[in-house]
């Protein structure tokens, strides 16, 4: 049998391995974050690549960059990152060289000119903001004509898949929302509606984190939260304990994308046409 390996396949494999190594380095002491975020980033990178965008190379704006760990892990250069936390922004400024600039700002009042940014990136942010409408307004406002919005969020299936039951009780759902600080869940239809009203076109989407991965992720998060420490030494010990558990999650990293309507999370590519 003759094996035909295309250049695109080689590039894809190389990118996947690069992302996995960088995410492992970033989240070695958090099995939950490593599992969920590695799948998420691979899904977003593959989605963007279908439209000629190399998400690992450069983005103009990272909306809700947090402490910069995720952006630094897989994006070569980010022109501007901003977050509401001054502590996180200071950490980005001092320690995350992928970011050229970092400022403290809200996603509901982005301090950038209208239609000024070529590639706007936001990873798992909008579900944590009570005023989602204002956030959608601002995300859409700053995308330039022909520019792109690449965004991930949690899907309407998140509660059921993470809890492992098709109909979670009201109390279980409320506890899940509180624990993850979620105010919103999205379907492709609701995202498309939000984008269309603001002058953006939904170009493509993907879902990820299948039922098996979702349940594993949630159990890992609960396990991490139960590890209470009272000293720096105990904290370091718990971190070291987690590394072998993180490595065990490699077997859960496939598949990257799920069947439509059967993923705990959703990524989209939109454009101002």
Per-residue pLDDT of the chain (273 residues; tens, 9 = 90+): 334 334 344 345 556 788 999 999 999 999 999 999 999 999 999 999 999 999 999 999 999 999 999 999 999 999 999 999 999 999 999 999 999 999 999 999 999 999 999 999 999 999 999 999 999 999 999 999 999 999 999 999 999 999 999 999 999 999 999 999 999 999 999 999 999 999 999 999 999 999 999 999 999 999 999 887 778 888 788 888 899 999 999 999 999 999 988 999 999 999 998
Question: Using CA atoms, how far apart are residues 100 and 104, in angstroms rounded to an integer?
Answer: 14
- β 265-271/201-208 pair status: antiparallel
Instruction: Flag whether 210 is in a domain.
Output: yes
Q: Which of 146, 73, 129, 138 is nearest to 111 (CA)?
A: 138
Rounded distance, CA 61 to CA 82, Å?
A: 8
Residue 1 falls within a domain, yes or no?
A: no
Total structural domains within the chain:
1
CATH code assigned at 65: 3.40.50.150
Q: Containing domain of residue 20, as a range? A: 12-271
How many CA atoms lie less than 13 Å away from 100 in the CB half-sphere?
A: 9
User: Is residue 3 assigned to a domain?
Assistant: no
In a domain, residue 7? The reply is: no
């Amino acid at each position: 049998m003759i094996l035909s390996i295309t250049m695109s396949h080689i590039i894809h494999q190389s990118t996947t391995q690069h992302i996995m190594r960088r995410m492992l380095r970033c989240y070695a002491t958090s099995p939950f974050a490593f599992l969920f975020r590695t799948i998420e980033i691979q899904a977003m990178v593959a989605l963007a690549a279908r439209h000629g965008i190399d998400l690992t190379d450069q983005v103009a704006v990272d909306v809700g960059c947090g402490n910069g760990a995720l952006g630094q892990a897989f994006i070569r250069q980010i022109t501007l990152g901003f977050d509401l936390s001054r502590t996180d922004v200071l950490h980005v400024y001092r320690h995350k060289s992928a970011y050229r600039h970092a400022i403290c700002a809200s996603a509901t009042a982005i301090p950038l000119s209208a239609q000024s940014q070529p590639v706007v990136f936001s990873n798992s942010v909008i579900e944590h903001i009570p005023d989602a409408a204002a956030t959608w307004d601002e995300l859409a406002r700053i995308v330039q004509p022909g520019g792109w919005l690449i965004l991930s969020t949690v899907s309407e299936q998140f509660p059921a898949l993470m809890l492992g039951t098709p109909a979670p009780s009201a109390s279980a759902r409320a506890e899940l929302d509180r624990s993850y600080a979620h105010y919103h869940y999205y379907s492709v239809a609701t995202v498309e509606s939000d984008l269309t009203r603001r002058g953006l076109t939904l170009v493509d989407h993907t879902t990820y984190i299948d039922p098996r991965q979702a349940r594993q992720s949630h159990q890992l998060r609960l396990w991490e939260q139960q590890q209470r420490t009272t000293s720096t030494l105990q904290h370091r010990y718990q971190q070291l304990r987690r590394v072998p558990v993180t490595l065990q999650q490699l077997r859960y990293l496939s598949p990257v994308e799920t069947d439509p309507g059967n993923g705990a999370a959703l990524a989209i590519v939109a454009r101002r046409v």
